[in-house]
Structure 1
Amino acid sequence: MNAVETLLNNTLHSHLAWAGPLLGLLTFGESLAFVGAVVPATAVMVVAGGLCAGGVIDPVSIIFWCLMGAILGDALSYWLGRRLGPVAFRHRWLRPQRRQVARTRLFFKTSRLPVLLLYRFTGPVRAFVPLIAGMSAMTSRRFQALNIISAVVWVPLMLAPGYLAAVGLKLGAGVVSASV
């Protein structure tokens, strides 16, 4: 191991306590309207799942901070939508897309529950659904209940692929070493 690798390794191990808050900040960013289209928290969560399985970082801390980030990011986007109100649907920037805006509003009004429970799994679109919920004047109590439920499902499912891959690698390494 060269000096740079040693320094990097020592730095990472001495700052592992920041993994949870940093990942929470990433999930917060990914859940914010507009910002969420460019913040890649999902990919980092898969890696974090593997690190949790390897015992490198604390899974309880990671899950807690990711839940807080996801819930608070969506809550802030919802609040922003409430502040903008339905008038924002008529903004001059949206005039060329009037038909798409109308379809989106109609779709959202006719299928709120399924949309809000599944929106977290739809990539960059996920960041805009809370904003639209707020602009559509969905009640805060209903939105926050669905926000929390969807976050509780989403966070473990995003950590699971990395976790399961790391566990599989451990099991595979055990089988290989046992047969040698």
Structure 2
Amino acid sequence: MDAVLQSLAEFIARHAGWAGLVLGVITLLESLVLIGAFIPATALLVMAGGLIAAGLLDPFQVIFWCVMGAVVGDAISFELGRRLGPRALRHPIFAGHRRKVARTRLFNRRYGAASIFIGRFFGPLRAFVPLVAGLLQMRRRTFQLANALSALIWVLAILAPGYFAARGLAELEALGEAHWTTIAAITIAGLIVVGLVCREILRRRARAMAEAISLAERRS
């Protein structure tokens, strides 16, 4: 996988004209149920953000194609869910994903259209949320509106770290070596704080999800 990721990154860096389309296809594949976990779209988008900051890629082209890829990928999974219906969850293909599917069903029932937004940023469930939304017969108009808006926000959020990291490095070089120690200390302290906050959020989310699943199992 690392070799494939490196090859794709090199291709994107060398062929700026094709970068947007290639990233769009990769984003589409990552949004598809089951196979999405094997596609390194997030890592490539972070890298693309850095290339945009360096002036090597057209930001509008990259954003357009990536948003389109994310929208189409989720739409395919959603329509597949609507066509298959709830009975499809008993299919052997989902045998190894029972827990994820159960979490996603609770997720969809609890948050409705908001689950499309939240699920887009929640890695373990991202590829299953549109499929389950289709299985639960969510209205197409509701889903597609949430799908398009969340795709735009997701793409910008994933591109941002690479973009600002590259801009920050360029600015640090301009400041000179005298400021490196102070900047490094502030950066490390900030990362520690962010890490602690993220860990606490993830712990609370995991605990709430586990309690919800346990309650659902007891009721069934």
**Residues 138 and 43 (structure 1), Cα distance of their counterparts in 2 relative to 1, 3 Å cut:** same
- The equivalent residue for 1:31 is 31
Structure 1 residues 31-40 or 169-178, which shifts more? 169-178
Within 1, Cα distance between the matches of 2:64 and 2:124?
22
Say whether the 8 Å CA contact 2:104–2:129 is kept in structure 1: no
What is the distance in 2 between the residues matched to 1:171 and 1:96? 47
Q: What does residue range 69-84 of structure 1 map to in structure 2 within 5 Å?
A: 69-84=69-84
What amino acid maps onto 1:57 in structure 2?
A: L
> Which whole-Å CA distance do the structure 1 matches of 2:89 and 2:149 have between them?
27
2:189 corresponding residue in structure 1: none
**Partner Cα distance (2:176, 2:121) in 1:** 36
The alignment of Structure 1 onto Structure 2 pairs a total of residues equal to 170
Aligned 1:1-180 pairs, distance under 5 A? 13=14, 15-91=15-91, 104-176=104-176
Q: Distance in 2 between matches of 1:131 and 1:109?
A: 13
Q: Cα 1:96–1:153, aligned 2, differ >3 Å: closer, same or farther?
A: closer
How far apart are residue 116 of structure 1 and its match? 1.5
Structure with larger RCO (C-alpha < 8 A, sep 6+)? 1
Q: Give CA deviations for 1:14-42 in whole Å, capped at 9, x if unaligned.
A: x2101000000110011011111111100
User: How far off is 1:144 after superposition?
Assistant: 0.4
Q: How far is 1:109 from its partner? A: 1.4
TM-aligned CA deviation for residue 89 of structure 1: 2.5
The residue type equivalent to 2:47 in the other structure is V
Instruction: Kindly state the Cα deviation for residue 87 of structure 1 after the two structures are TM-superposed.
Output: 1.5
Provide the rounded CA distance (Å) in 2 between the counterparts of 1:59 and 1:97. Answer: 36
Provide, for residues 68-104 of structure 1, a one-character-per-residue CA deviation record: whole Å limited to 9, x for no partner: 0000000011011111111212335668987885664
* Structure 2: runs of 5 or more not aligned: 1-9, 180-220
- Which deviates more from structure 2 when the two are superposed, residues 119-128 or residues 48-57? 119-128
Q: Are the aligned partners of 1:36 and 1:124 in contact in 2 as well (CA < 8 Å)? A: no
Root-mean-square deviation (CA, aligned residues, Å) is 2.8
- For the residues of structure 2 that align with 1:101 and 1:147, how far apart are their CA atoms? 19
Aligned-partner Cα distance in 1 for 2:132–2:141: 16
SS of the aligned residue for 2:176 comes to: helix
Normalising by structure 2, we get a TM-score of 0.69
Residue 87 to residue 16, structure 1, CA distance change in 2 (3 Å): same
Q: Could you say what secondary structure the match of 2:55 adopts?
A: coil
Contact 1:23 / 1:62 at 8 angstroms: preserved in 2? yes
Aligned partner of 2:78: which letter?
Y
